[in-house]
């Protein structure tokens, strides 16, 4: 089967990897070779930190491209294409807002590292967060950090995810915007900075159109990307609004839905 797909973008959690964070490496590497033979690029598109994402592909991450931190950090193989730079005023507004609600556990995400504030979150929270942020440091106060800030990643009680989503949208009033994959995880990002904007930066560099792009996702923060790409696949385990945004539904992440579909597309 011949197709015109020149870029494939995949979300990670709930999409590409199983719930234990594994994937079938030999099978994926076989598919990747076929994609490369067809002059198609593979893009890892996630809310997670670049340093964590590249560790999923040890030894060959330089062959892949990354839209990390929900579009705030974009790499074309070894070249840095884009890194968001949140203005100081916005950074302080987010910090102050989150400090009004002690049940929020906040992470500040920079180009060099991610940060947790001493006294504001527990050691347990820090250890769980380090699974997703392979560069993570304790700091005395967020406002003292000298780094280029990409986004914030507050964790809230799961049943209050959409309460806080609405609160952030209202109180930040366009200075920064919330996005969520559900389950108590919210990212606060620069306006217009999402996975689709990251893919558009790469597509522009590579001279390809959205119709030549395919995307796979399962969460709310994948919707822009699924709408952007001409070929879009929601996972069977995706939420209903994500399935509505995609053109197709493929088997779940536990059933290797991404790999099954790519084997069909790149026979």
Residue 222 makes CB contacts below 8 A (sequence gap 6+) with: 11, 15, 45, 181, 195, 215, 234, 238, 242, 245
Residues 180 and 165 sit within 8 Å (Cβ to Cβ):
yes
- H or E element that contains 214: strand 213-217
Residues 49 and 68 sit within 8 Å (Cβ to Cβ):
yes
Give one word for 40, left, alpha or beta, with left for phi > 0 and alpha for psi -120 to 50. beta
Residues 247 and 238 sit within 8 Å (Cβ to Cβ):
no
Neighbours of 200 (CB within 10 A): 19
Active site residue 256: no
Residues 10 and 44 sit within 8 Å (Cβ to Cβ):
yes
What phi and psi values does residue 252 have, to the nearest 5 degrees?
Answer: -70, 170
Catalytic residues: 11
């Amino acid at each position: 089967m011949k197709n015109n797909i020149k870029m494939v973008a995949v979300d990670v959690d709930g999409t590409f990897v199983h719930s234990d964070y594994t994937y079938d490496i030999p099978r994926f590497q076989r598919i990747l070779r076929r994609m490369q033979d067809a002059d198609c690029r593979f893009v890892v598109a996630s809310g997670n930190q670049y340093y964590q994402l590249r560790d999923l592909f040890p030894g060959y991450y330089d062959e892949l491209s990354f839209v990390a931190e929900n579009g705030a950090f974009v790499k074309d193989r070894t070249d840095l294409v884009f890194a968001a730079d949140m203005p100081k005023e916005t950074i302080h507004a987010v910090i102050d807002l989150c400090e009004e609600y002690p049940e929020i556990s906040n992470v500040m995400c920079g180009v060099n590292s991610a940060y947790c504030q001493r006294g504001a979150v527990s050691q347990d929270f820090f250890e769980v967060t380090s699974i997703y942020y392979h560069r993570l440091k304790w700091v005395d106060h967020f406002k003292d950090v000298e780094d280029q800030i990409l986004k914030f990643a507050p964790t809230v009680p799961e049943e209050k995810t959409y309460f806080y989503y609405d609160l952030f949208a209202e109180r930040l009033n366009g200075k920064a915007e919330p996005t969520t994959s559900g389950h108590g995880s919210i990212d606060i990002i620069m306006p217009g900075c999402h996975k689709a904007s990251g893919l558009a930066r790469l597509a522009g560099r590579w001279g390809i159109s959205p119709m030549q792009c395919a995307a796979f996702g399962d969460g709310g923060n994948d919707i822009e990307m699924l709408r952007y790409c001409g070929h879009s696949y929601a996972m069977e385990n995706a939420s209903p609004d994500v399935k509505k945004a995609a053109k197709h539904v493929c088997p779940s992440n536990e059933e290797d839905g991404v790999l099954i579909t790519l084997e069909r597309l790149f026979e």
